[in-house]
Amino acid sequence: MGSWNRDQQVCASCRYWSGKREIDFTGSHFYANEPAASCQKPFGPFRGVEMGEGSYCPKWETYDNSNNY
């Protein structure tokens, strides 16, 4: 699985990607534990679609590690 930083607008660093990932204590680096998972963006064009960790869409939103999910 890949390693991504918070400035890369890919699914693994998006707040709506449902895949398992590890995030370092600074919230800067994301380590995807799964190659793909579904998108959970409400009302987004890819909701429910399985997206690869390195995929991208124009509705990407940064993951805030204070989120409780």
Asked if pLDDT for residue 66 goes beyond 80, the answer is: no
How crowded is the C-beta side of 43, counted as CA atoms within 13 Å?
A: 0
- Lowest-pLDDT range of 6-10, 27-31, 61-65: 61-65
Phi, psi of 48 (to 5 degrees): 85, -5
State the CB neighbour count (10 A cutoff) for residue 11: 27
Q: Could you write out the three-class secondary structure of 18-31? A: CCCEEECCCCCEEE
The whole model's pTM is what? 0.83
34: its two tokens? 């799964």
